[in-house]
């Protein structure tokens, strides 16, 4: 009888204070938010943190491996007395940096959107994306000799394997 009265009192208190009821439900993991239970939403944070960290590690690994490979190729080119060894080194480093920076931007987006979606973190993300985008454009200008939005030259467009222009096909016939 005492337990029943205590239960009734708790129920009456819950009607008067809905926050207390939702706090107890949250502690049990029975609240519904965006289709997930409270306990399921608690596990999303660590999953997105792991995914974000994995993307960051992949980006850094690509940069490091790219630097090692570029330096090894540079050493081979210097030993072979190739005239454009330095240019090849710069292009190889630029390519690995571009790919690594793209992955780092992706990791920042995942961590900001999924883990801490505040206006402050969104502002930091915007600044990071602008800086890394500018770095990517500068690296592409260094490696390709043109801005990303500029068209490739006619000779570069037709240098793809298997490409035969109409003029070349007519000349071969």
Q: What is the pLDDT of residues 33-77, one digit of tens each?
A: 444 444 444 556 788 889 889 999 999 999 999 999 999 999 999
Residue in the block written with tokens 């571009």: 98
Angle between helices 119-144 and 85-110 (to 10 degrees): 160
Give the global pTM. Answer: 0.57
Q: Which of 135, 134, 136, 113 is nearest to 124 (CA)?
A: 113
d(CA 49, CA 17): 35
Q: Is residue 132 part of a domain?
A: yes
Q: Is residue 68 part of a domain?
A: yes
Q: Is residue 170 part of a domain?
A: no
Q: Is residue 85 part of a domain?
A: yes
Q: Is residue 93 part of a domain?
A: yes
User: Which residues constitute the domain of residue 98?
Assistant: 44-150
* Total number of domains constituting the chain: 1
Q: Is residue 88 part of a domain?
A: yes
Where is pLDDT greater, at 134 or 165?
A: 134
Q: Is residue 121 part of a domain?
A: yes
Q: Is residue 104 part of a domain?
A: yes
User: What are the pLDDT digits (tens) for 11-30?
Assistant: 555 555 555 555 555 555 44
């Amino acid at each position: 009888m005492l337990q029943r009265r205590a239960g009734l009192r708790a129920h009456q208190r819950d009607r008067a204070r809905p926050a207390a009821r939702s706090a107890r439900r949250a502690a049990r993991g029975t609240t519904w938010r965006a289709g997930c239970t409270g306990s399921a939403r608690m596990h999303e944070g660590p999953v997105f943190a792991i995914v974000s960290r994995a993307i960051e590690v992949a980006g850094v690994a690509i940069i490091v491996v790219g630097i090692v490979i570029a330096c090894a190729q540079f050493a081979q080119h210097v030993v072979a007395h190739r005239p454009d060894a330095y240019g090849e080194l710069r292009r190889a480093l630029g390519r690995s940096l571009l790919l690594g920076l793209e992955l780092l931007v992706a990791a920042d987006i995942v961590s900001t959107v999924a883990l801490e979606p505040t206006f402050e973190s969104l502002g930091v993300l915007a600044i990071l994306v602008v800086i890394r985008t500018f770095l990517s454009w500068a690296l592409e200008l260094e490696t390709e000799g043109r801005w990303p939005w500029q068209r490739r030259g006619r000779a570069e467009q037709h240098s793809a394997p298997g490409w035969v222009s109409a003029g070349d096909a007519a000349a071969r016939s």
